């Protein structure tokens, strides 16, 4: 098992997240652009169909290259209605899953997942059915690159793979999008938080616990 490969990927994700967090802190402190102006600018760009196509393309490339496509949530969810945001994110991540699946078929012999990935690969080899794939997609924190490249290297049926990706990711992105809306929109609109709007956050918390439990079982 290639522990060093998984460690490098983990460090890369931490570096990307750390850089984004640092940029966010600097922007929040210095505020080179007023928040209201930035939001208005983002909402203006969101109206263009080319913006949606570009978002889908970027997210697809991230997932095809086994990079964290979840980062795109914060590019999309604050500027679109939750269902529209979920649809955009699902399209991008499903296309990215297809790209990773095909890439694994071309150079799957050179893909060496770490310990968690190896156990997930064994799970897919033993029980890579539609329901299992949907469950793996829905749970947050589980590396989609393992499912994408694992399914491609194992040559699991493509139709059921894409259907499971679209359904599982669609469920997860919908919960994420409504959770972001529950946090962001009241602040932008100057309104209080409706207790009912916190329900997506509760669902997200349950999914996070489930994802953590699965990773602990596999790792």
Q: So what's the pLDDT on residue 2? A: 47
- The first and second tokens of residue 150, run together, are 């694992």
Q: Are 72 and 89 in contact (CB under 8 A)?
A: yes
CA distances to 25, 69, 71, 94, 210 from 17, in Å: 12, 12, 8, 22, 23
Q: What is the pLDDT of residues 70-113, one digit of tens each?
A: 888 888 988 889 999 999 999 999 999 999 999 887 766 666 67
Higher per-residue confidence, 195 vs 65: 65
User: To 10 degrees, what angle do helices 82-107 and 49-64 make?
Assistant: 40
Q: So what's the pLDDT on residue 217? A: 59
Q: So what's the pLDDT on residue 69? A: 79
Q: What percent of the chain has pLDDT over 90?
A: 23
Q: So what's the pLDDT on residue 53? A: 93
Q: So what's the pLDDT on residue 84? A: 94
Higher per-residue confidence, 9 vs 94: 94
Extents of the domains making up the chain: 34-218
- The first and second tokens of residue 202, run together, are 């509760």
Q: So what's the pLDDT on residue 173? A: 92
Q: Are 9 and 66 in contact (CB under 8 A)?
A: yes
Q: So what's the pLDDT on residue 1? A: 41
Q: So what's the pLDDT on residue 13? A: 60
- Checking if the pLDDT of 47 tops 90, the result is no
Q: What is the pLDDT of residues 166-211, one digit of tens each?
A: 999 999 899 888 888 877 765 555 555 555 555 655 665 666 666 5
Listing DSSP states for 85-103 in one string gives: HHHHHHHHHHHHHHHHHHH
What band does 10 get if pLDDT is binned at 50, 70 and 90?
low
Q: So what's the pLDDT on residue 29? A: 54
Q: So what's the pLDDT on residue 20? A: 58
Q: What is the arithmetic mean of pLDDT over 131-145?
A: 81
Averaged pLDDT score across all residues of the chain = 75
């Amino acid at each position: 098992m290639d522990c060093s490969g998984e460690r490098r990927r983990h460090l890369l994700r931490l570096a990307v997240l750390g850089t984004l967090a640092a940029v966010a802190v600097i922007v929040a402190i210095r505020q080179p652009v007023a928040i209201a102006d930035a939001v208005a600018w983002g909402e203006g760009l969101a109206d263009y169909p080319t913006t949606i196509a570009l978002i889908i393309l970027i997210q697809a490339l991230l997932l095809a290259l086994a990079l964290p496509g979840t980062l795109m949530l914060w590019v999309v969810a604050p500027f679109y209605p939750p269902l529209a945001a979920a649809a955009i994110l699902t399209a991008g991540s499903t296309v990215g899953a297809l790209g990773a699946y095909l890439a694994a078929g071309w150079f799957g012999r050179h893909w060496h997942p770490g310990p968690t990935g190896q156990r997930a690969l064994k799970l897919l080899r033993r029980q890579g059915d539609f329901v299992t794939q949907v469950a793996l997609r829905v749970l947050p924190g589980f590396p989609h690159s393992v499912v994408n490249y694992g399914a491609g290297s194992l040559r699991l049926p493509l139709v059921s793979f894409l259907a499971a990706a679209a359904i599982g990711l669609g469920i997860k992105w919908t919960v994420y999008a409504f959770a972001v809306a529950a946090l962001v929109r009241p602040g932008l609109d100057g309104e209080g938080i409706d207790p009912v709007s916190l329900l997506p956050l509760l669902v997200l918390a349950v999914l996070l616990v489930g994802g953590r439990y699965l990773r602990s079982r596999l790792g």
